[in-house]
Each structure stands twice: as structure tokens, then as C-alpha cells.
Amino acid sequence: MKILFLNGPNLNLLGQRQPEIYGTTTLADIEAAVRAQAEGRAEIEFRQTNDEGKLVTWIQDAASTADVAVINAAGYTHTSVALRDAIAASDVPVIEIHLSNIHAREEFRHTSLIAPVCEGQICGFGPNSYVLGLEAALSLKSAE
């Protein structure tokens, strides 16, 4: 079982970026927590990019590289028709995650263009959203 974690723009800055919203945990810390939780249960691949096109290509390629994808599309969540189309076209189930509760923030963050084509959404639990995303990915596969 292989789970692909994809991270969008500015998530490379976690730890120093708006800590009052996103906390002080770095993306490397989050990756380590996910890997520890997945130990013996799933193989994890963890990637980050600031490029919209790269996220689209990674979703396209996920069909041959992963069983489930977990994505924090960051700012592209609210803007990217291309990312939504890629998820809609993919046979691989995709789970949407966010550190912050996007529904409790500015109005423009309330709309996720990718939500309707994802299996479900986890948001608002800080770094733990990633661990919950892992558990959701595992439960999807065990439910098959």
C-alpha cells in the first residue's frame, strides 16, 4: 500500500510562516510524524512544490505510483480548475487536507474547488490533519 502526500505552495515555509495560524512545526516534522504513524502499515512518499503544473502532473502520475493520494493544495485549493480537473480524471482516490480550518477563515478560503472531486476533507487540526489524512487513506483501502 503506497500513499502519496502532496503539498502545494508556501508549505515549504511552515515553521516560520504565520505561526499564529500554522504553528511552528515544519513540513519535515510533519513528514516524520506521518512516517512514524505509517510504520509497517504503508509506504509513504512526501512531496512539496510551489508549482501548480507540477501538482497537476503528480496527480496524473499517481495512477501508476500510488494507491491513495493525500493533498494539501494550499492556495491552489481555492483557485485551481486545472488541479480539480486532474483529480476528477484520476482513478486514484484523493483526500483533501488543511492545517487550518478554511471554513473559519476569510470568505475566499471557504470555497475549495477540489472538494467535490475528493473523497473527503480534513481541516483544522494543525499538523494532526496529516496524520488523520493518513488514517483516512488507510481506512479507504481497508474498506475495499
Closer CB to ligand DQA, 72 or 80, in the complex: 72
Q: Does residue 117 bind ligand DQA (CB under 6 A)?
A: no
Q: Does residue 75 bind ligand DQA (CB under 6 A)?
A: yes
Q: Does residue 70 bind ligand DQA (CB under 6 A)?
A: no
Q: Does residue 72 bind ligand DQA (CB under 6 A)?
A: yes
Closer CB to ligand DQA, 123 or 138, in the complex: 123
Closer CB to ligand DQA, 72 or 93, in the complex: 72
Work out which of 38, 55, 87, 99 binds ligand DQA, going by CB under 6 A: 99
Distance CA 83, CA 101 (A): 21
Residue 69, classed as helix, strand or coil, is strand
Instruction: Measure CA 144 to chain center.
Output: 21
Would you say how long the chain is, in residues? 144
Residue position matching grid coordinates 496524473: 60
Q: Is 98 tagged catalytic? A: yes
* Order of strands across the sheet that contains 68-72: 43-48, 2-7, 68-72, 94-98, 120-123
Q: Which of 41, 44, 33 is nearest to 127 (CA)?
A: 33
Q: Is 76 tagged catalytic? A: no
Cα radius of gyration (the chain): 14
Q: Does residue 114 bind ligand DQA (CB under 6 A)?
A: no
Catalytic residues: 22, 98
Q: Which chain residues interact with ligand DQA by CB under 6 A?
A: 10, 72, 74-75, 77, 98-100, 102, 109
